[in-house]
Structure 1
């Protein structure tokens, strides 16, 4: 038996009811049957007692089933109703179904199986009706929520029928336009009337594209009773059976607040950028105005150190120089802080030797520690890779600052630096740099404050040791720029330990065996290399003119001076120079304009003369501008004489001056060439010797020309392909130095971002070596031949 069903039979004939009851017994359902005869109160009875199915006789006293059925349905009763009729008239059946009957049964066909099938159908219909009602309720709730969401988001939806040109708007679209649905008809014409005149062309184009089947997403303005609003509409076309748009559907959103907010943000950003620019200009000018006289102060004190001084005079010069260097540190700290704050400090990524960098820092600071009787030591764990990829300049700055601070705040004992691995993955190493001292220590409550700007541990610290309180702040910001961490552990009176954690890539572990052109030259070697070099100085400041002249006097170079860019051009028209030292800020024509004129308007070889900027500006953007206009390098004021010598020598390595590069400070011929293979090939054939010399001489000239051309055009692929050719041509001579430089150059070329400066240096060395090798061949065979 099926589960129980609640049935109602409405019939005045007891025999008919008995027949129905007898058939129900074999219908297959467990049921409860209620019999009812009074049609006048039937509807109320149905409302009071819900049924699963009602059997209604078609012919009732004083009434008929059709009329009663209509009244029941009009009252909203949705219970399935099966009409029982003695007539099988088809037209009557149609009328009954139209009036709301669920089914009908002819009396003489009532059987158990028939009723079972009818009941199954009715129950299925009841279930479907319940599900439909539930879906309708859910739909209404969803529509209500959507309407509320649209109201909150100020977004509505619309449809446009392309065939009859009718438009449907949701309630929120009316709200956005500020109109009521009962007195506004959303036609194309009415819609166009609300569009801002300046945006009508955009909307017409969008409409045209949409009717061709293209999606759209546009912002425009509408003029409403509440004023001008910004709106966004986006949507797509719905294609009909003919694959043409049958309607266009879309959304409309009020974006007025967002647009006004964007305007405010843009205004605030422009104001912030202007303020940052003003700050940057002020700092740049401040830097320039301080560095220019500092250049003279520090430069002349260095020159005075080289003269005969009394003890008292030396003490005064020491004080001037110390104060000047301190002022320079403060200027640089302020500039670094500004660069970090404005996002102008960029991290470089290049390969360098960690052991050499650390050794250089310790060597520089060790004398300062020894003056106080301190031991300054450094140790690198054996597992730490010696060659790493990162920013050596900023790492140098961080470690120098920490070690310098440790020495400053330590009176006895020592300072140690340790580098060890803090973790690693496939490509990167996390390195820990630990700087320990036995100094005064930092109070626990101040340890979190010492990384703030202009903060030191105590007021007594500032009075006794000096400083601005910017160093550690800059260190922390640089470390964070590297996505690293810095921490401190300290015990008052016992010392401090600073730990920096930074991530680096492992390098290729290449060790350079051949000196590069920008290596640190000995003073005597520098003076020798600069002898007879013609230098043009562009500088409007008389004091700085005098300083440069004094610095270059001992080099026995030939110096001419121009006070502005126009004078530089005049001198270049009448005299030949090997290099130009170009001040940037000069009257009449500044260094940038002069460089552009030289590079673009003067003939070769004058247009290719090396130009070194001498700038008191310290921002990266100033240096970049110097490079962009065609300068080859720059040196910051104030400068050290040895740095100036090194820069000049580096850029004299141009065509015609390659012989200036010395492979070893001790001996011009320290590189070894094995000429025995050529002697063996030569035998007694002097004609072969002459031919060989001619071949090497010609080949060297061609290679030099190609190398210079490739460097000038930055054709790194061509350089990469010519290196094996050079190795093959000169390989018979087994020159270790040349092979080593070629291998190092190949490695430098096989990186994602090629370092142009390093490649230029490598090419200069290669040119130097093959020139020297050719000269050695010519000299050797002329002697023996």
Structure 2
């Protein structure tokens, strides 16, 4: 807008200057024409008077002189007016250019102020994002332990009083987590980073799963939740089931919060549609305290509740309905609310969806039963610096009969992975020394391992999962770790790894069939020979490396022959007979030694790791 004004000023100035110059030229030309005419007339009179000089007298000559004086004065006047007009035009041009320069200077100052303001705004946004990320991490880390251990305690046999205390701790932790999630969701919406997915899902199953979530709440308050589902609704639709679940959970939770007697109703109806589009209306009504009409307009405002005492009596942040409204609008929907004090409240949400076409596949249900799938034989590395979370993850994996090991930071994790194989890595992001991003990069680029690495972080900002995957990780699991999410990760990334109840059958390198055939099930013998392998193998590998460094063929042949005997109990002959035969050969050239030695060292180191895992099962018994 300011640039347009400046262009107008410049145009007006130039037009005025051109018009003034044209006017000066026109007036000067007219005056000069008049002077020329006057001079020609005087010249004619002069000629006539000269030709008739004998008839001239002093009177005629005086008249001629006066006329010439008038012509001279007119010429002088023309020159003065020409000078005046020229000076005026120059003054006008100077004024116009002064205005233009002033405007340009002011424009530059405003642009500078705008840049400073924009930089300060970006800095403020960055500070806010960093604050929210740090707050999320610092709060979610202890929450992970609180909720995780309370879940473990609730699975044990407890007396009623202790169970009540633990249930109270868990509910308080869930409430705190909900507040943190609300604040993070609000930040995502404000920054425009809240994403709406388009995936096929079954609306009826989703609604009933939401109702199941409130089964215990309904029983505790003795307020039934009545669900009504329109049979005309398509079986499968395309939209964002996560955000719809969030909307319904928020609305039903509010209904229960403010209802002490009566019932809560959740009605889902088809509200028209066109072609492959359908509109669904979700209405949640309660028989609670209600809201006064004059407060209905502010009920969707952030950090606002109907009464100042509501927070004290019922809790909450006043963000729930605001987030619901924003989520509905992001999905091109509409939300309305009606209420009457003492009679209850009704919230109606209408959202358009696309009817899923044939071939769209429904997402699998990630909800697991109370009895978690057992995955014996899996080897999982937990990279976590928080000692409480270390213990929690180990307990969760022990429940699933998974062998786990802990690394306190990225450096320790790298060293462990250099010498031992694992099926999966849970990688914390924020750790001292070496963070999860750097450790993952080394795993991919230096160790060349394709092992699944799962980011395990308390950072819950939008884009965190994408960042983790972009930097080499395979998936993301947020703290507090939900057992359903843990089971989903384990099922998805280890589905091709055998888990049939025997650790021995899940190894990649060692083959225990030979040992089992000899032992006839004698665990003492298996423990003894495994212990001997773990004791002898590192020494023989060290001796092989030393002999290779000295380029001593005789010593290399002797060690290779001894290794053949040591590895047989672990079933490694199939993998190592070929390189060991090469090393035992008397015709091998010195330049051909490095490759078979490297192969023997690599396979034996991996075998040591697997044998160590196998040996630890005897220590637990």
Task: Tell me by how many angstroms 1:632 deviates.
Answer: 1.1
Task: Tell me by how many angstroms 1:624 deviates.
Answer: 1.8
Listed one character per residue, the Cα deviations across residues 255-312 of structure 1 (whole Å, up to 9, x for unaligned) are 6655544443333222212111101110110111111111111111112222333333
Evaluate the alpha carbon distance shift between residue 569 and residue 486 of structure 1 in structure 2; reply closer, same or farther with a 3 A threshold: same
Evaluate the alpha carbon distance shift between residue 554 and residue 259 of structure 1 in structure 2; reply closer, same or farther with a 3 A threshold: same
Residue of structure 2 equivalent to 1:475 = 324
Listed one character per residue, the Cα deviations across residues 641-664 of structure 1 (whole Å, up to 9, x for unaligned) are 3431321221113xx52x669xxx
Aligned residues of 1:379 and 1:419 also touching (Cα < 8 A): yes
Evaluate the alpha carbon distance shift between residue 255 and residue 310 of structure 1 in structure 2; reply closer, same or farther with a 3 A threshold: same
Q: 1:461 and 1:398 mapped to 2: Cα distance?
A: 21
Residue of structure 2 equivalent to 1:588 = 433
Alignment counterpart, residue 340 of structure 1, candidates 189, 193, 199: 189
Moved more, 492-501 or 425-434: 425-434
Structure 2 unaligned blocks of 5 or more: 21-83, 501-621
Evaluate the alpha carbon distance shift between residue 255 and residue 646 of structure 1 in structure 2; reply closer, same or farther with a 3 A threshold: same
Alignment counterpart, residue 643 of structure 1, candidates 482, 485, 494: 485
Evaluate the alpha carbon distance shift between residue 183 and residue 372 of structure 1 in structure 2; reply closer, same or farther with a 3 A threshold: same
Evaluate the alpha carbon distance shift between residue 434 and residue 509 of structure 1 in structure 2; reply closer, same or farther with a 3 A threshold: farther
Partner-residue secondary structure (3-state), 2:413:
helix
Residue of structure 2 equivalent to 1:494 = 343
Q: 2:366 and 2:318 mapped to 1: Cα distance?
A: 34
Q: 1:489 and 1:288 mapped to 2: Cα distance?
A: 38
Task: Tell me by how many angstroms 1:228 deviates.
Answer: 5.8
Partner-residue secondary structure (3-state), 1:613:
strand
Aligned residues of 2:276 and 2:355 also touching (Cα < 8 A): yes
Q: 1:626 and 1:151 mapped to 2: Cα distance?
A: 49
Task: Tell me by how many angstroms 1:413 deviates.
Answer: 2.1
- Answering whether residue 378 of structure 2 is matched by residue 533 of structure 1, we say yes
Aligned residues of 1:447 and 1:488 also touching (Cα < 8 A): yes
Q: 2:312 and 2:113 mapped to 1: Cα distance?
A: 46
Aligned ranges 1:443-454 → 2 under 5 Å: 443-454=292-303
Aligned ranges 1:161-310 → 2 under 5 Å: 170-171=15-16, 182=86, 260-310=109-159
Q: 1:366 and 1:312 mapped to 2: Cα distance?
A: 22
Larger RCO: 1 or 2 (CA < 8 Å, sep 6+): 2
- Answering whether residue 393 of structure 2 is matched by residue 544 of structure 1, we say no
Aligned residues of 1:156 and 1:172 also touching (Cα < 8 A): no
Listed one character per residue, the Cα deviations across residues 301-348 of structure 1 (whole Å, up to 9, x for unaligned) are 112222333333222212211111111111111111121122221222
Listed one character per residue, the Cα deviations across residues 735-759 of structure 1 (whole Å, up to 9, x for unaligned) are xxxxxxxxxxxxxxxxxxxxxxxxx
Aligned residues of 2:6 and 2:104 also touching (Cα < 8 A): no
Aligned ranges 1:382-781 → 2 under 5 Å: 382-508=231-357, 516=364, 519-524=366-371, 526-527=373-374, 530-603=375-448, 606=449, 608-653=450-495, 657=497
Q: 1:174 and 1:602 mapped to 2: Cα distance?
A: 80
Aligned residues of 2:410 and 2:433 also touching (Cα < 8 A): yes
- Answering whether residue 179 of structure 2 is matched by residue 330 of structure 1, we say yes
Partner-residue secondary structure (3-state), 2:214:
helix
What's the TM-score once normalised by structure 2's chain length?
0.64
Listed one character per residue, the Cα deviations across residues 21-62 of structure 1 (whole Å, up to 9, x for unaligned) are xxxxxxxxxxxxxxxxxxxxxxxxxxxxxxxxxxxxxxxxxx
Q: 2:373 and 2:446 mapped to 1: Cα distance?
A: 33
Aligned residues of 2:376 and 2:499 also touching (Cα < 8 A): no
Evaluate the alpha carbon distance shift between residue 549 and residue 256 of structure 1 in structure 2; reply closer, same or farther with a 3 A threshold: same
Q: 2:369 and 2:486 mapped to 1: Cα distance?
A: 13
Q: 1:181 and 1:281 mapped to 2: Cα distance?
A: 67
RMSD over equivalenced CA pairs, Å: 3.2
What's the TM-score once normalised by structure 1's chain length?
0.51
Moved more, 579-588 or 269-278: 269-278
Aligned residues of 1:443 and 1:490 also touching (Cα < 8 A): yes
Q: 2:192 and 2:366 mapped to 1: Cα distance?
A: 32
Q: 2:153 and 2:268 mapped to 1: Cα distance?
A: 40
Alignment counterpart, residue 378 of structure 1, candidates 223, 227, 230: 227
Q: 1:651 and 1:151 mapped to 2: Cα distance?
A: 64
Counting matched residue pairs gives 431
Task: Tell me by how many angstroms 1:577 deviates.
Answer: 0.2
Aligned ranges 1:25-104 → 2 under 5 Å: none
Aligned residues of 1:389 and 1:505 also touching (Cα < 8 A): yes
Residue of structure 2 equivalent to 1:154 = 9
Q: 2:192 and 2:104 mapped to 1: Cα distance?
A: 32
Aligned residues of 1:156 and 1:173 also touching (Cα < 8 A): no
Q: 2:390 and 2:17 mapped to 1: Cα distance?
A: 76
Q: Which has the higher strand share?
A: 1
Structure 1 unaligned blocks of 5 or more: 1-148, 159-168, 187-193, 195-222, 230-253, 662-785
Task: Tell me by how many angstroms 1:406 deviates.
Answer: 0.9
Evaluate the alpha carbon distance shift between residue 601 and residue 415 of structure 1 in structure 2; reply closer, same or farther with a 3 A threshold: same
Aligned residues of 2:17 and 2:89 also touching (Cα < 8 A): no
Evaluate the alpha carbon distance shift between residue 151 and residue 296 of structure 1 in structure 2; reply closer, same or farther with a 3 A threshold: closer
Largest Rg, 1 or 2: 1
Partner-residue secondary structure (3-state), 1:155:
helix
Q: 2:358 and 2:5 mapped to 1: Cα distance?
A: 63
Q: Which has the higher helix share?
A: 2
Listed one character per residue, the Cα deviations across residues 554-592 of structure 1 (whole Å, up to 9, x for unaligned) are 222111111111111111110000000000001111011
Partner-residue secondary structure (3-state), 2:421:
coil
Q: 2:204 and 2:387 mapped to 1: Cα distance?
A: 43
Residue of structure 2 equivalent to 1:11 = none
Aligned residues of 1:288 and 1:616 also touching (Cα < 8 A): yes
Aligned residues of 1:398 and 1:478 also touching (Cα < 8 A): yes
Evaluate the alpha carbon distance shift between residue 590 and residue 226 of structure 1 in structure 2; reply closer, same or farther with a 3 A threshold: same
Aligned residues of 1:533 and 1:578 also touching (Cα < 8 A): yes
Aligned residues of 1:652 and 1:660 also touching (Cα < 8 A): no
Aligned residues of 1:378 and 1:416 also touching (Cα < 8 A): yes
Aligned residues of 1:582 and 1:612 also touching (Cα < 8 A): yes
Q: 1:519 and 1:397 mapped to 2: Cα distance?
A: 16
Evaluate the alpha carbon distance shift between residue 524 and residue 462 of structure 1 in structure 2; reply closer, same or farther with a 3 A threshold: closer
